[in-house]
C-alpha cells in the first residue's frame, strides 16, 4: 500500500496514527467484542467515547464552562438556517460579512427569514482579500453578526477576530477550526463541519454560549433547535457515532502533539514555505492579498494555463493528489490542513521547482 499526499479541500486527509488506531479497533473496541459502528449510542461504551471527545475538545480549545458542545449532523450548511432560527428572537435582522462562496450561501439562506445587512464584502475583487475592522458597517441592533473564518475556495483567512460589541459573533470555522488557538469567549456560536480538521464527513460540531440556547423561534424545527440537543447531550436522535469516535482520536492526537499552539506553529511553517516558493517564482502566482492569505488553503496559478492539466497529471504520478483549483479561481489549490505532514508540503515544493525548470 502506498498512501498519497492528499491536498483535497475536503473530505481531507486524516492523521495516519488516527487511521492506524481506528484500524486496530475496527472489529473490537476495547474488548467490547464489537465495532464502534455497531454499538448502541445509548450504551455505556459509546457514552464514554462521546464524553472523552467533548472533554478533550474543551481542553484543546479552552472552551469556557458556559458553552455547550454539540455533536450533530447535517453539515455546516444546516447551520445556515439553524443560526437565525435560534438567535433572531424578535429582532428580525442580522449582520453578515461576505468573504466567499460559503458566506454567500449563508446569506442566501438567511434572507428567507430576516433582513440582512452585508457589513462588508470582498466580492468586488473576487474575494481575494479580507475586510478589516474599520471596513465593517455593523448594526448595533442586529441579532448577531456572522463570519466565515477561512475561505477554502479563495484561500483567504481572518487573522483577527472582529469586535462586534454586544452583538453575538457567529463563526463558520469549518476549514480552520483546531488549526490554532482562539479565544472562544469572543464568539456566541462556533460551528464547523468535521471533514477538514476534525474527522470524516457527516459530523458537525457546534459550540454555543448558554444564554443563546432556549430562544428558538416557535416554528423552528425540533432538530434545528440548539436546546433540543443541549438538553439531550447530543443524543436526541442517533448521532454520527463513528464520526464522533474518529474526532475523539483526532483530539487525542492533537494533545499528544503539543495542542493547538504547536499545531499553529507547524501550520504557519508549512504555509510560509509554500507561499515563499510561489512568490519566489516567475512561473507561479498567488491571487490573494498577502496579509489575508490562508494557512489552510493555498490557491496558485501557472503563468501558462495551458500546462494546468500536465501539472496535475505529473503531480498525481508523484503521489501529490487532488491539487486542481476550484473553477471560481482556476489553477491549483493545495489544502494543507492539520493532518498534512510537512514532508507533503516539501514534496509539493520540490515538484513545483522541477516542473518549472522543465516548462518555463
* Catalytic residue set: 102, 172, 196
Q: How far is CA 92 from the centre of its chain?
A: 28
Sheet of 284-285, strands arranged across? 284-285, 297-302, 332-335
Amino acid at each position: 500500500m502506498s498512501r498519497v499526499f492528499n491536498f483535497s479541500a475536503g473530505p481531507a486527509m486524516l492523521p495516519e496514527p488516527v487511521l492506524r488506531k481506528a484500524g486496530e479497533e475496527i472489529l473490537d473496541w476495547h474488548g467490547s467484542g464489537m465495532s464502534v459502528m455497531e454499538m448502541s449510542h445509548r450504551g455505556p461504551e459509546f457514552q464514554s467515547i462521546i464524553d472523552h471527545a467533548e472533554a478533550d475538545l474543551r481542553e484543546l480549545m479552552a472552551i469556557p464552562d458556559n458553552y455547550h458542545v454539540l455533536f450533530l449532523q447535517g453539515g455546516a450548511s444546516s447551520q445556515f438556517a439553524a443560526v437565525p432560527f435560534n438567535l433572531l428572537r424578535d429582532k428580525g435582522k442580522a449582520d453578515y460579512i461576505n468573504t466567499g462562496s460559503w458566506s454567500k450561501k449563508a446569506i442566501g439562506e438567511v434572507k428567507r427569514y430576516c433582513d440582512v445587512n452585508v457589513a462588508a464584502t470582498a466580492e468586488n475583487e473576487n474575494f481575494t482579500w479580507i475586510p478589516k475592522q474599520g471596513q465593517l458597517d455593523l448594526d448595533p441592533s442586529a441579532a448577531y453578526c456572522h463570519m466565515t473564518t477561512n475561505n477554502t475556495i479563495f484561500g483567504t483567512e481572518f487573522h483577527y477576530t472582529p469586535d462586534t460589541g454586544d452583538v453575538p459573533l457567529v463563526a463558520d470555522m469549518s476549514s480552520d477550526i483546531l488549526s490554532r488557538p482562539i479565544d472562544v469567549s469572543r464568539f456566541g456560536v462556533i460551528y464547523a463541519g468535521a471533514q477538514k480538521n476534525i474527522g470524516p464527513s457527516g459530523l458537525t460540531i457546534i459550540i454555543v454560549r448558554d444564554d443563546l440556547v432556549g430562544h428558538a423561534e416557535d416554528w423552528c424545527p425540533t432538530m434545528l433547535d440548539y436546546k433540543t440537543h443541549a438538553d439531550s447531550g447530543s443524543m436526541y436522535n442517533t448521532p454520527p457515532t463513528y464520526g464522533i469516535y474518529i474526532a475523539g482520536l483526532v483530539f487525542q492526537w492533537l494533545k499528544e502533539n503539543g495542542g493547538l499552539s504547536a499545531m499553529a506553529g507547524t501550520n504557519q511553517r508549512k504555509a510560509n514555505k509554500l507561499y515563499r516558493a510561489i512568490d519566489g517564482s516567475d512561473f507561479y502566482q498567488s491571487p490573494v492579498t498577502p496579509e489575508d492569505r490562508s494557512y489552510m488553503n493555498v490557491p496558485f496559478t501557472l503563468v501558462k494555463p495551458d500546462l494546468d492539466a500536465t501539472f496535475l497529471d505529473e503531480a498525481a504520478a508523484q503521489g501529490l493528489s487532488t491539487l486542481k483549483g476550484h473553477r471560481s479561481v482556476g489553477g491549483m489549490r493545495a489544502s494543507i490542513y492539520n493532518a498534512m505532514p510537512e514532508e507533503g508540503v516539501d514534496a509539493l515544493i520540490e515538484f513545483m521547482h522541477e516542473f518549472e525548470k522543465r516548462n518555463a
